[in-house]
A = this chain, B = another copy of it.
Amino acid sequence: MSRLTVAAVQTSPAFGEVAANVAAALAAVPAACDLAVLPELFSTGYQFRSRDEAFQLAETLPDGPACTALRERAADSGTTLVAGLCERNGERLYNSALLARPDGSWERYRKVHLFWDEKEIFAPGDLGFAVHEACGIGVGMLICFDWIFPEAARTLALAGAVLLAHPANLVLPHCPRSMPVRCIENRVYAVTADRVGREQRTAMPLVFIGRSQVISPEGERLAGCDGEHPGVAVADIDPARTDKQITPRNHLWRDRRPDLYRL
């Protein structure tokens, strides 16, 4: 596995302005990048006033407008893209992520651990945690609040993920300091793409904290954005550094003792 260039694209979407949000996000994707991650719900914005409103803004995969734009851009640029979308499937809505490869193929993840009022809008993810081959490595998708459940990243890493692609819309402060621990404990890379800006469409105003970042298997912040501005964090990654042999006598997987865990 050779080195790859990966990016977290931090945006500031305007609620409901799908075409403009998609155009701005894709314009920010760096050229000559193997894999880029965009935020959760990157095309619509986050704070739906109702399930009906979300339903109107949702799209089907893979033929909805944002999904189509992502797939076309992946094909044109050679960059694998991961982005969060409001997915409609029949009568159900999911807080989903799309992975679009340059060859036209695509994968989907549906957020398993819904945060707060998302439970009024979305059905919980029903596809589990799968690792997808992309640009020569295993990529696992998580969305935002999934980070707090160590089982999610663990499941992906045990299944062979080299990199966690993590679209987010963070409003609490804990995730940026926690993703390095997800990387250390699983010896994987993580790319968290968050948004900035503010939404106040209900009684609870939300301020998104940005701080998108690319984290190494040793927990280093290889590249990052600030808390207030759109931006891009780009870093080269070396898949060989995700080897689980962390000392001559300690292998992160073989040292596990599932017989003693009660989970």
Interface set of A (CB-CB < 8 Å, partner B): 112-117, 119, 124-125, 128-129, 145, 148-152, 154-155, 158-159, 174, 177-178, 180-181, 184-185, 218-219, 247-250, 252, 255-258, 260-263
Contacts and interface: CB of A to CB of B under 8 A. Distances in A.
A150 B255 contact: no
Contact of A263 (B117, B128, B158): B158
Given A158-B263, A181-B181, A256 B151 contact: yes
A152 B255 CA distance: 12
Nearest to A115: B250
**Which residue, A155, A247, A261, has most C-beta atoms of chain B within 10 A?**
A261
A180 B175 CA distance: 12
A124 B257 contact: yes
Given A151-B257, A159-B262, 10 more contacts: A112-B260, A129-B261, A148-B185, A149-B255, A150-B150, A154-B261, A155-B260, A155-B262, A174-B218, A261-B263
B249 A151 contact: no
A219 B250 contact: no
A177 B185 contact: no
A149 B185 contact: yes
Contacts of A158: 262-263
Contacts of A115: 247, 250
A184 B180 contact: no
Contacts of A125: 260
In the complex, the 4 A-B pairs of residues with the closest C-beta atoms, listed nearest first: A150-B150, A181-B181, A151-B261, A128-B260
